[in-house]
């Protein structure tokens, strides 16, 4: 799910600026307001409210092998707010471990973003794959994700990672980014490039910096600069060339995941490729011995905290108010600790707080209707 830093970092990776001509000739060639119709932000348009618990680990995702009885278990979970974005790259690492001993009949536990991409990656490597899962889309937690490209969103703590983590993360992020380019332009637009607007009434918009305190001495690691060569630059819009109430607006572009269609596409591809999805609920590590496959990839996300007794996983709560989609509205806005992303499968409205600590350690999955409606009313004030 999206946080304040993700939204800003995607837009501030470049330093370019743009001055738009005010003449009639320039206006006839380029309409800066095209596609920026105001969102109909009223509580009556909320069609659902969801809460997602991001599975954060200070050391980053757990991609490691463990023997359970006679089973070889490859753990693949704990991606924080980077699950969809980092999934293909981290799946290649996990699948490589799973196939290292020559096994070609693989079990995947979990049918969320990490489970589906891992199963497809194993399939493409020549394995026969069965997914075992308690829940499938749209009931999995990753169905409630914001849907923006954010490969370093709450991915780890600076003091929790080893010296090689940054290089491993970069390789996974670049692989995922390259893979998603192959999904652009497909029917239903499961993945597409869309614009983002960072608004401000004061000086240039800048991300908040988490500062260490006695209670929270560590900081979330930031790695987005490693991808500066593949991310588009942001541009400053001249006053009067945007429809927002604020004095300043900065535009960037980023990948958007229309999760409903993306999940449907991946599930269909998996089944067409000969995969099977078997409903099953596991309660403890020894339950993997019930599976017929000797190699298991554990992609249970936040569920691994209970299933695997892994208390290194910390929940980070994020709530979304979903507004009915608007034809032609496919852009995002950030202002005043509120983020909006207009997707084809719903308009995401989310309070993101001052910094990455917002929602940290909060395991409450109950929707807050009052807070959702307040967020939507705040959004309505973004336009002139």
Confidence of residue 380 (pLDDT cuts 50, 70, 90): very high
Counting Cα atoms < 13 Å in the Cβ hemisphere of 30 gives 9
Residue pLDDT, tens place only, 44-77: 999 999 999 999 999 999 999 999 999 999 999 9
Q: Is residue 326 predicted with pLDDT exceeding 60?
A: yes
Query: What band does 295 get if pLDDT is binned at 50, 70 and 90?
Result: very high
Q: pLDDT band for position 166 (50/70/90)?
A: very high
CB 160 within 8 A of CB 60: yes
Per-residue pLDDT reduced to its tens digit, 119-132: 999 999 999 999 99
Tokens of 289: 């011995």
Gap between the Cα atoms of 98 and 132, Å rounded: 16
- Can you give the pLDDT at residue 114? 98
| Under 8 Å between Cβ of 47 and 324 | yes
Q: Give the position of tokens 């339950």.
A: 287
Question: Is the predicted pLDDT of residue 5 greater than 60, yes or no?
Answer: no
Strand order in the sheet with 191-200: 46-57, 313-323, 346-351, 338-343, 331-335, 191-200, 248-257, 235-237
Q: Which carries the bigger pLDDT value, residue 132 or residue 101?
A: 132
Q: Mean pLDDT throughout 12-29?
A: 39
**Per-residue pLDDT for 26 more than 50?**
no
pTM: 0.89
- For residues 94 and 107, give the distance between their C-alpha atoms in angstroms, rounded to a whole number: 12
Q: Residue 250, exposed/middle/buried by CB under 10 A (0-12, 13-18, 19+)? A: buried
Per the structure block, which two tokens stand in for 273?
């490729």
Strand partners, 255: 193
* pLDDT category of residue 35 using cuts at 50, 70 and 90: confident
**Residue 321 in tokens:** 């108010």
As a whole number of angstroms, the distance between CA 166 and CA 199 comes to 30
Strands 191-200 and 128-133: unpaired
pLDDT at residue 204 in the model: 55
pLDDT at 216: 72
């Amino acid at each position: 799910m999206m946080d304040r830093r993700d939204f800003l970092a995607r837009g501030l990776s470049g330093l370019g600026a743009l001055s738009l001509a005010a003449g009639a000739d320039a206006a006839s060639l380029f309409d800066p307001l095209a596609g920026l119709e105001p969102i109909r932000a009223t509580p009556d348009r909320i069609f659902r409210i969801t809460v997602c618990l991001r599975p954060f680990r200070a050391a980053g995702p757990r991609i490691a092998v463990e023997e359970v009885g006679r089973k070889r278990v490859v753990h693949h979970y704990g991606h924080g707010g980077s699950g969809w974005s980092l999934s293909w790259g981290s799946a290649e690492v996990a699948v490589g471990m799973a196939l290292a001993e020559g096994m070609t009949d693989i079990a995947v536990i979990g049918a969320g973003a990490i489970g589906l991409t891992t199963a497809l990656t194993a399939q493409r490597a020549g394995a026969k794959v069965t997914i075992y899962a308690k829940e499938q889309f749209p009931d999995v937690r990753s169905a409630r994700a914001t849907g923006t490209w954010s490969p370093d969103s709450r991915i780890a703590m600076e003091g929790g990672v080893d010296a090689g983590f940054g290089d491993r993360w970069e390789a996974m992020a670049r692989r995922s980014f390259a893979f998603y380019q192959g999904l652009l332009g497909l029917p239903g637009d499961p993945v597409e490039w869309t614009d983002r607007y960072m608004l401000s009434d004061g000086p240039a918009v800048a991300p908040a910096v988490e500062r260490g305190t006695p209670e929270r001495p560590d900081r979330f690691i930031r790695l987005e600069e490693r991808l500066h060569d593949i991310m588009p630059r942001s541009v400053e819009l001249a006053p009067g060339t945007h429809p927002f109430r604020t004095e300043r607006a900065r535009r960037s572009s980023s990948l958007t995941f229309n999760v409903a269609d993306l999940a449907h596409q991946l599930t269909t591809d998996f089944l067409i490729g000969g995969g099977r999805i078997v409903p099953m609920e596991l309660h403890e590590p020894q339950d993997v011995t019930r599976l017929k496959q000797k190699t298991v990839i554990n992609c249970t996300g936040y569920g691994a905290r209970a299933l695997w007794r892994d208390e290194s996983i910390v929940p980070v709560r994020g709530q979304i108010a979903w507004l009915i989609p608007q034809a032609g509205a496919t852009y995002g806005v950030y202002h005043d600790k509120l983020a909006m992303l207009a997707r084809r499968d719903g308009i995401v409205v989310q309070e993101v707080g001052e910094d990455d600590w917002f929602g940290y350690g909060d395991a409450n999955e109950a929707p807050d209707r009052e807070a959702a409606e307040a967020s939507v009313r705040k959004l309505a004030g973004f336009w002139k």
